[in-house]
Amino acid sequence: MDLSYSPEYEAFRAEIRAFAEKHGAQAPRGGMAATMAGAREWQKLLIAHGYAARTIPKEYGGYGAEPDVLKSRIIAEEFIALGLPMGMSGQGISMLVPTLLELGSEEQKKKFIGPTLRGEIIWCQGYSEPGAGSDLASLSTRAVEDGDDFVINGQKIWTSTAAQADMIFCLVRTEADKPKHEGISYLLFSMKTPGIEVRPLVTMTGRAEFNEVFFTDVRVPKKDIVGQRGQGWYVANATLRHERGMLGDPNQAGTRLRALIELMQSEDVDGRRLMDNPVMRDRLLKLQARVHAMEYHGLRLLTASLKGEDPGVARLIVKLMGCELNHQLAGFAIDALGELGMLYSGSPHLRNGGDWQSSYMFDLGLIIGGGTAQIQKNIISERGLGMPREPKTAKA
Amino acid sequence: MEFGLSDDQKMMQESIERTLERVSPLERVRKAAGREPFAADVMKALVELGVPGILIEEEFGGLGLSLLDAVLAAEALGRHVAPVPFVASSVMAPLALAGAGSDKQKKAYLPKLASGEIIAGVAISEQAAGAREKAGITAKGGRLTGKTLFVLDFAGADVFIVADRFAGLHIVDAKAKGLGKIQLTTIDATRSLGELAFDTVEAEPLTSGNPAATLDRMIDAGRIMLAADTLGAGGRMIEKAVAYAKERQQFGRVIGSFQAVKHLCAEMVAELEPCRALIWYAAYAFDEFPEQSRRMAAHAKAHTSEVGTFVARTATEVHGGMGFTDLLGLHYWFKRIGFDRQALGGPEKVRHDAAVAQGWVGN
């Protein structure tokens, strides 16, 4: 146990601070759409310095550094501390790029990774369907062979960024006669292809964070497949692994906890600070312990990955516990706000732009999405504790 | 940056584990529980591994290790519900002597604690958890008067470390004239708890160093140990529940294949695993970042207690009716966790200390 950083890492930290000093003013601020060009410039600068796309090989447009999770952590820590926007994220960068690196053809890697990293191609993910949520492998969007093309018909749902996306990575059923896991293929195609319709999906937050995507006779060249035909399920699983790593990030909980402490110290009821209410304070303390526990749990997993050790069940609990904790933090903030917590969206007296109310609802979506809490518990008990799977019920 | 155990630490924990598996199986625990002051043979085996001297400097015959090492021992003891003194005799008493004892006192007591020749009980409940029934000790002219409750590692203790009303520390011989000893019956029969009544009893004050700061350190370390004990006991309960659920059949299938059951197991492990990192950090902070010690020890104790309570009842439920029986013996772990939760302050009290430590509220 040693939580100090060696000189190499302290030097790396100093480098980031020097970078911030020199380039901090160039960092894009404000809403995403307004500053897309600025965000792309910033991203280029970050890649050039190794603060984004750090471990992606140079030949594909990355920085080409050896993987070093500690340096990745230091980048995240320093960027948060310095108030600098991190590099671009999104499903293209965080999910498709790792998948292509692992399973894409050389041509696909050359064509897609660089522009994706630079924010020139925005992607969306075509996985879930109305009839295929937790049981994703039962998806029924059909792709039928016709000459050099597949012709796609069907519907996707929960497609975030579909309205802005240039491209989609999409699971379709190419082999109708094969068992459900063996008949899926993983296709890449343009969202401008004729026959695609995107409809915004408004959630309980009041915003359309997701979309539905409808395919009617969408023609996609057969060559735009990742991996082999019928192997899409296994390609997708490589991607899902990356997604589970993204959800339940303890940094977010730490940021929220600090905001919550600030709220408890600044708000008062009957002239008495919320922090001086022992019941409220006790609830805050309970959450503080949970945030610390997840934070150090993250450090434990980080160390395991540095040493190449498999942390076993400890790794499998992060999505479940991290998402739940974020939700609880937002829920408690609303209780602390009391009747102010009923307000929303531009109301007079609204605190913090309604972020707590919005997060409380959106986080419930995150508890459900990316593998529901119940699916996570199946994974934890089956893979982590070696408990038996639910027996298969006979087909009706 | 390394947040984890060294190879030496893993080996040490494994050897304590293996030893306890051998010398302290459930039958041995059952025999000792509530009948023997403590299991002397189990204690002897632990002495051979150096456990009682784990925090004691090498010059006094101990291993001179860190609080994190003591955490690993405490976890193993919790896993095996070992009926031996530890939190008071091997952690808080050595810290009292190291922090506030004179050279002469250190030489007199530390080697004997390390070798298991003597056991030390610790009476600081009033300072750690608040005074019940107007308990409290007054020191005057080298003599102590009053009563103190919930003395840890009580039975078989040869000396007691006692805190007075003003956070002064004293060491008292268990055979001192005027000292009344009342054994308390606890829910957890693997631990011993007692009450001391002082009628102008002769005591040696521990006045070197900083006694008040030492008392705080004792409380923090004790809380971290109790958390580690719960981590061990809870971890073992989960293992037992999972094993039982994989074996027990109802409705023609093992109950572990029902989601209602396996989700309980998943919830237990998902709650308990992060406690491990929290406790490791608290122990590390105790040695490396003392300014965080009070807060982190409090969080480790309170949070692990909350999770421990959930694990104790849930693991029992997974065992169905068998979990409720004396025959299965699962209740030893259940009760151990219950004891850990209240000793040195229950969750609400301990969280209050964490609030005070970060200036959120006055004392």
Tell me the CATH number at B56. 1.10.540.10
At residue A394, the pLDDT reads 53
Residues B321 and B247 in one domain: yes
Task: Give how far A277 is from chain B: nearest CA, Å.
Answer: 10
Whether residue B347 sits in one domain with residue B241: yes
Q: Does A276 touch chain B (CB under 8 A)?
A: yes
- For residue A287 the two structure tokens come to 């959450």
Residue A70 three-state SS: helix
For B232, phi then psi, to 5°, come to: -65, -50
ipTM of predicted complex: 0.97
Q: Does one domain contain both B184 and B241?
A: no
Q: What is the pLDDT of residue A266?
A: 96
The answer to whether B106 and B61 are in contact (CB under 8 A) is no
| Partner-chain residue, chosen from A294, A302, A385, that has the shortest CB–CB distance to B3 | A302
CA atoms of B157 and B200, how far apart (whole Å): 20
Question: Average pLDDT for residues A238-263, to the nearest whole number?
Answer: 76
Q: Cβ contacts (< 8 Å) between B273 and chain A: which residues?
A: 297, 313-314, 317
Chain A CB contacts of B270 below 8 Å:
317, 320-321, 377, 380
How far, in Å, CA of B361 to CA of B353, rounded?
9
Per-residue pLDDT, averaged over B221-234, amounts to: 98
Residue B188 DSSP label: -
At B66-98, the pLDDT tens digits run 999 999 999 999 999 999 999 999 999 999 999
Q: Which helix (H) or strand (E) holds B278?
A: helix B259-288
The mean pLDDT of A333-346, rounded to a whole number, is: 96
* Class of residue A56 by CB neighbours under 10 A (exposed 0-12, middle 13-18, buried 19+): buried
User: B50 lies in a domain?
Assistant: yes
pLDDT digits (tens, 9 = 90+) for A95-129: 999 999 999 999 999 999 999 999 999 999 999 99
pLDDT of A197 over the 60 cut:
yes
In a domain, A255, yes or no: yes
> CA-CA distance, B311 to B295, in Å (whole number)?
24
**H or E segment and range at residue A108:** helix A106-108
Q: How many separate helices (H) and strands (E) can be counted in chain B? A: 13, 10
* Phi, psi (degrees; rounded to nearest 5) at B161: -95, 125
DSSP state of A223: T
Q: Which residues of B touch A390 (CB under 8 A)?
A: 257, 259
Please check whether residue B238 is in contact with residue B247, taking contact to mean a CB–CB distance below 8 angstroms: no
User: According to the model, what pLDDT value does residue A35 have?
Assistant: 74
> Does A201 score more than 80 pLDDT?
yes
Q: Is the pLDDT of residue A31 over 60?
A: no
Q: With an 8 Å Cβ cutoff, are B354 and A288 in contact?
A: yes
Query: Domain containing A183: what range?
Result: 123-231
A93 in a structural domain = no
State the best of B1, B67, B257, B303 to mutate against chain A, taking most chain A CBs within 10 Å.
B1
B64 C-beta neighbours (distance < 10 Å), count: 16
Q: Is B206 exposed, middle or buried (0-12, 13-18, 19+ CB in 10 A)?
A: buried
Helix (H) or strand (E) holding B19: helix B7-23
Final residue belonging to a domain, choices B90, B115, B140? B115
Q: How many CB atoms lie within 10 A of CB A77?
A: 13
Closest-CA residue of B relative to A296 is B277
pLDDT score of B62: 98
Contacts of A281 in chain B (CB under 8 A): 355, 360-361
Same domain, A255 and A219: no
* Calpha distance B49→B24 (Å, rounded): 14
Q: Which residue has the tokens 């990742």?
A: A226
Parent domain of B92: 7-115
pTM: 0.95
- What is the residue-wise DSSP string for A126-138? E--BTTBSSSGGG
Contact across the interface for B257 and A391, Cβ inside 8 Å:
yes
Q: Does A9 touch chain B (CB under 8 A)?
A: yes
Spatial contact of B267 and A377, defined as CB atoms under 8 Å apart: yes
- Predicted confidence (pLDDT) at residue A65 exceeds the cutoff of 90: yes
Which of the 8 DSSP states describes residue B297?
Answer: H
Cα distance between residue B227 and residue B279, in whole Å: 7
Residue A396 pLDDT: 44
Give the pLDDT band (50/70/90) at residue A393.
Answer: low
List of residues 6+ apart from B267 with CB closer than 8 A:
A377, B310, B314
Question: Which residue in the list A182, A209, A212, A243 is annotated as catalytic?
Answer: A243
A386/B246 CB distance under 8 A = yes
Distance (Å, whole) CA B266 – CA A63: 40
Choose the mutation target among A3, A6, A74, A296 for the interface with B, i.e. most B CBs under 10 Å.
A296
Nearest to A388 among B254, B273, B354 (CB): B254
Residue B1 domain-assigned (yes or no): no
Residue A373 near chain B (CB below 8 Å): no
Average pLDDT of the residues in A20-43:
82
Nearest CA distance, B222 vs chain A (angstrom): 18
Residue B2 lies in a domain: no
> Which pair of tokens denotes residue B318?
């997974």
In a domain, A389, yes or no: no
Query: Mean pLDDT across the stretch A79-86?
Result: 89
Q: What is the pLDDT of residue A245?
A: 52
Instruction: Tell me, yes or no, whether B245 and B193 share the same domain.
Output: no
Structure tokens belonging to residue A41: 């410039």
Is the same domain home to B256 and B273? yes
- Kindly report the average pLDDT of chain B as a whole number: 97
Tell me what percent of the residues of chain B surpass a pLDDT of 70.
Answer: 100
User: Cα–Cα distance between A235 and A104 in angstroms, integer?
Assistant: 9
The answer to whether residues A279 and A371 belong to one domain is yes
Distance from CA of B353 to the nearest CA of A (A): 10
**CA B346, A250, A158, A230 torsion-angle sign:** negative
Q: State the residue for tokens 């237990």.
A: B268
Q: Structurally, how many domains does chain A consist of?
A: 3
Selected for mutation to probe chain A from B3, B230, B242 (highest A CB count within 10 Å) is: B3
Q: How far is A371 from chain B (nearest CA, A)?
A: 15
Q: Is residue B150 domain-resident? A: yes
* Confidence category of residue A150, pLDDT binned at 50, 70, 90: very high
Would you tell me how many other CB atoms lie within 10 Å of the CB of residue A101? 16
Catalytic (active site) residue A243: yes
| Cβ count within 10 A of residue A284 | 24
Other CB atoms within a 10 A radius of the CB of residue A384 amount to 21
Instruction: Dump the DSSP string for B154-192.
Output: -TT-SEEEEE-TTS-EEEEETT-TTEEEEEEP-S-TTS-
Q: Closest partner residue to A289 among B242, B257, B302, by Cβ?
A: B302
Q: CATH number for the domain including A136?
A: 2.40.110.10
Is the pLDDT at A37 greater than 90, yes or no?
no
Cβ pairs A/B, distance under 8 A: 153
Nearest Cβ partner for A289 among B257, B284, B299? B299
- Write the DSSP string, B322-344: HHTSTTT-THHHHHHHHHHHHTT
Shared-domain flag, residues B316 and B293: yes
Chain A nearest C-alpha distance from B12 (Å)? 15
